Structure 1
Amino acid sequence: MTSGVALPPHLAPYRPNVGVVLFHPDGKVWLGRRVGAPGPFNWQFPQGGVDAGEDLQAAALRELVEETGVRSVTVLGRTDGWLTYDFPPEHSGHGVGKAWKGQRQVWFAARFDGAESEIDLQAHPPVEFDAWRWAYLSEAPDVVAPFKREVYAQVVRAFSVFAAG
């Protein structure tokens, strides 16, 4: 597997990013509620930036640990190529939005092999989520920030083979 973080110049405005859909053995998925984000569209999967030269799967597993504390997983699959979304105009003045047009992501599906006591939202500051729950994969596009919906719909299609009902 190649790291793939060096992007062609026409893609440079997009921050390299990875995401993880964490599947419970029963086929439901882990959703976290973003700290400080107003509802109702404030739930999402763990995701984060890729460091220069970092392998994409290693980055995804690192982000999973940092945001959820979860280490006990088996990787089930990944999306093909990069999935892209643009930040809305209100994101342009702060955080990653001030340096990037949007994010270009590769997503990984992973089965949770641990006990729920392993989940620790304060595992690594800064804390990304203030709550979590198991949900059906098909619910994810309806609870995520609207500008991420199309990417989440693509992720749902890619990983539906692992999902419950």
Structure 2
Amino acid sequence: MTVGHPHILPGYRPCVGLLLLNANGEVFVGRRLDTQDAWQMPQGGIDPGEEPRTAVLREMQEEIGTGKAEIIAESDLWRHYELPASLARRVWGGRYRGQAQKWFALRFTGQDADIDLTATPHVEFDAWQWVALDRLVDLIVPFKRDVYLEVVDEFAPLIRGAAPR
């Protein structure tokens, strides 16, 4: 399972996460369809044999229905988080205790109208918004917050650099 990704601990699902920035330096978040009022940045599993850079662009297309973005940074780290026990038993057939995520920062190059949450049959989000960096972590479910804090800290110079002067 971790072939090609030696930094992933056993029992964790290989995954990518994407921090998508608009021209105002705001971050894209979607509200999960399957969870009451839980917001997150797009993320998803890495297919066997797939490179993380390829996976992040595929996941963006699948989850938010657009390919209009460019990768501007890739984390050097794999970040791990654990699912709450009740979720770990239900999702992914109970095979994983959590996810190992490789995060990317991307600059959105399209218009808001290019985002289509229903572009693929497997809809993940029922709503979306651009949020200011200082609001991002507060919207996220508690078990993912530490990872989000680390991602925000790592990419903060890029995020602030994207904001208008």
TM-score, normalization by structure 1: 0.90
Note the alpha carbon deviations across 1:111-144, whole angstroms, 9 max, x for none.
0001111100011121000000010123222111
Q: Give me the whole-angstrom Cα distance separating, in 2, the residues matched to 1:10 and 1:19.
A: 15
Residue 76 of structure 1, aligned match among 72, 78, 83: 72
35, 38, 58: which one pairs with 1:37? 35
Q: Secondary structure in 2 aligned to 1:11?
A: coil
| Partner in structure 1 of residue 126 of structure 2 | 130
For 1:140, the equivalent position in structure 2 comes to 136
- Paired residue secondary structure (2:77): coil
Q: Structure 1: which amino acid aligns with 2:25?
A: G
Shift of 1:55: 0.9
What SS does structure 2 have at the residue aligned with 1:79?
strand
Once residues 59 and 15 of structure 1 are traced to their aligned partners in structure 2, the CA distance between those partners, rounded to angstroms, is: 13
Structure 1 regions of 5+ residues with no counterpart? none
User: Structure 2 counterpart of 1:17, which letter?
Assistant: C
Report Cα offsets for 1:75-100 as digits up to 9, x if no partner: 11011120000111111221226110
Which aligned segments of 4 or more residues in structure 1 are displaced greater than 6 angstroms?
A: none
Pair 1:153-2:149 in alignment:
yes
Unaligned runs of 5+ in 2: none
TM-score, normalisation: structure 2: 0.90
* TM-superposed deviation, 1:59: 0.1
Judged with a 3 Å threshold, the aligned counterparts in structure 2 of structure 1 residues 5 and 51 are, in CA distance, closer, same or farther, namely: farther
SS in 2 for 1:92: helix
Distance 1:71 1:59 in 2: 12
Q: CA deviation at 1:12?
A: 2.1
The CA deviation at 1:8 is 4.4
**Map 1:12-23 → 2, pairs under 5 A:** 12-23=10-21
SS at match of 1:25: coil
Q: Match of 1:26, SS?
A: coil
RMSD of aligned Cα (Å): 1.8
Identity %: 42
Say whether 1:67 aligns with 2:66: no
Cα shift at 1:6: 3.4
Counting matched residue pairs gives 160
- Are 1:112 and 2:125 an aligned pair? no
Q: Which amino acid aligns with 1:117?
A: A
